[in-house]
Amino acid sequence: MSSSSEAFTTPAASDLAAAVNALLETSLTAVPESGITALLREIETSTRQLAAVGHRLIVEACERSIPQRVGAGSPVRYLEETLRLSHADAVARVKAAKALGTWHDVGGQALEAMLAHTAKAQAAGEISADHARAIGKITDRIPRGVSREDREAAEQILVELARSATPDDVSKVGERVIAHLDPDGTLTDDTDRARMRGLVLGRQRADGMSPIKGEITPTLRALLDPVLAKLARPGMCNPDDPQSPWTADDSVTREQVEEAAARDSRSAAQRNHDALLAFLRPEMGPSALGSHRGLPVSAVFTMSVAELEQAAGVVTTASGGTVSIPQALQLAERAMPFLALFDHTGMPLHLGRGQRLANPAQRLALIAAERGCTRPGCNAPATLTAVHHITEWAEGGATDIDNLTLACDHCHALVNDGPGGWKTVKLGEDSEFPGRTGWIAPAHIDPTGTPRVNHRHHAKELLAQAQSRIRARNERAALCHRQWLGQRTTA
């Protein structure tokens, strides 16, 4: 580039630079706590919108062939050299611009962005670059045979979720969306998974460590998850703690595990390693695992009668994974089935109990209905949750199925009457999600106090709603078009 082109700017860019400099020089010590939160949100919105501006600039550079004319050769290399970006960052920005930018055909006509709903939300500052990246990764994996209407519905679901959830939530729900768009595994079937399966132990290094890599099938994941849920929980199987429980039978008390957890400083990856080490010890094995949160340490599959009859699609495990129904039936050949009845909204019918603790039947019914922690944004699967009274037992709440829900230990602890406490309610028949557990966030998160549900474990219902809205919109558009044609004919 010439020096004159480098010096060029626009009034808007100059104003932006001046505003940023002013913010850098502004003292924040006198700003109240609520003002700090508001300022964080305002700056975040502007940052997200600037990412959309960056897409426009990359499109402009590419369509003018600037990278080639300056000798960079490619847009990625151009960004690396011009902005001193890492290769990974440059690749991500160019990929985002391709999916979210407004490109033009040879005649100069603007083309709709590949992910139009995502681009619109980012330009409005409603979602971040990480949100958009998560949505792009999911939509890239949607089978080409899926209809355009369903593809658009899937994107709308993820964008709508991204407006109120984290990028991790979007990825999690996206997996469910793909599973429901491709229930029979036409994109990747069990034969493909069997071909891809494998674990590789690398050569042992001089320090004694060995790398491990590979891919495991949904079946192995379903069997491994409950083992890790018990043996890899904080406090269990800690080689650095002589008092850490290593035996997996039910003689280990909850108090022992909690005391050991308070001393546990291992990462989740380290706990998984130590759990597998313990499980492979000669005296261990599945028969010695006892129970976990009131249920046997084994895979729990949820399927409907229709899915059972068709033997097609996927089932959800209590640990949050999916397994094809044929393989789930194969695993269940020697298992004891459990029948639970649900109403038209997917919530379990009455299962009452006169004691404070829920029984295994109630917990299984909650696993089938809720699939995981019900607090909005939480991705904890059912295997990592406890049964929570929506109306507390101490306040007269019964241990009945319609007063119970699943909450992980972290989210369970958030429910309290303090100023930062969360509240739980059962949504009524007039709500959008009747029978579901609504969580009311504290005022600093949601000043409106609106009860919200966790969609992370229920992508199917969101997909159906989005499809319904899109069909209704298309029908209205078709009706308007027919009316317009009728007016022209009359005229």
169 vs 355, higher pLDDT = 169
Q: Cα separations (Å) of 112 from 63, 118, 477?
A: 16, 12, 19
- pLDDT band at residue 352 under the 50/70/90 scheme: very low
Structure token pair of residue 299: 């895979």
Phi (first) and psi of residue 159, to 5 degrees = -65, -45
Q: How far, in Å, CA of 420 to CA of 414, rounded?
A: 8
Which pLDDT value is given to residue 491? 62
Contact residues for 285 (Cβ-Cβ < 8 A; gap 6+): 279
Q: Give the burial class of 111: count Cβ atoms within 10 A of its Cβ; 0-12 exposed, 13-18 middle, 19 or more buried.
A: exposed
Which pLDDT value is given to residue 309? 57
User: Given a cut of 70, is residue 302 above it in pLDDT?
Assistant: no
380 vs 265, higher pLDDT = 265
Mean pLDDT, the chain, integer: 79
Q: How far, in Å, CA of 154 to CA of 150, rounded?
A: 6
Q: How far, in Å, CA of 433 to CA of 294, rounded?
A: 28
Q: For the whole prediction, is pTM greater than 0.75?
A: no
- pLDDT band at residue 102 under the 50/70/90 scheme: very high
- pLDDT band at residue 329 under the 50/70/90 scheme: low
* Weakest-pLDDT range from 52-56, 90-94, 275-279, 371-375: 275-279
Tokens 């020096």 -> residue: 3
Q: Helices (H) and strands (E) in the chain — how many of each?
A: 19, 11
3-state SS, 85-137, equals: CCHHHHHHHHHHHHHHCCCECCCCCECCCCCHHHHHHHHCCCCCHHHHHHHHH
Closest CA to 332 of 353, 348, 317, 313: 317
Which pLDDT value is given to residue 263? 93
Coil/strand/helix, residue 352 = coil
- pLDDT band at residue 131 under the 50/70/90 scheme: very high
Q: How far, in Å, CA of 439 to CA of 424, rounded?
A: 5
Mean pLDDT of 437-441: 89
Q: How far, in Å, CA of 128 to CA of 167, rounded?
A: 8
Mean pLDDT of 237-261: 81
* Weakest-pLDDT range from 7-21, 24-38, 452-466: 452-466
Structure token pair of residue 86: 């890492």
Q: Cα separations (Å) of 31 from 19, 37, 271, 419?
A: 18, 10, 42, 21
Q: How far, in Å, CA of 464 to CA of 46, rounded?
A: 33
- The secondary structure of residue 452, as a DSSP letter, is B
Q: Give the burial class of 9: count Cβ atoms within 10 A of its Cβ; 0-12 exposed, 13-18 middle, 19 or more buried.
A: exposed
Which helix or strand (DSSP H or E) is residue 388 part of? strand 385-389
Coil/strand/helix, residue 369 = helix
Which pLDDT value is given to residue 58? 96
- pLDDT band at residue 310 under the 50/70/90 scheme: low
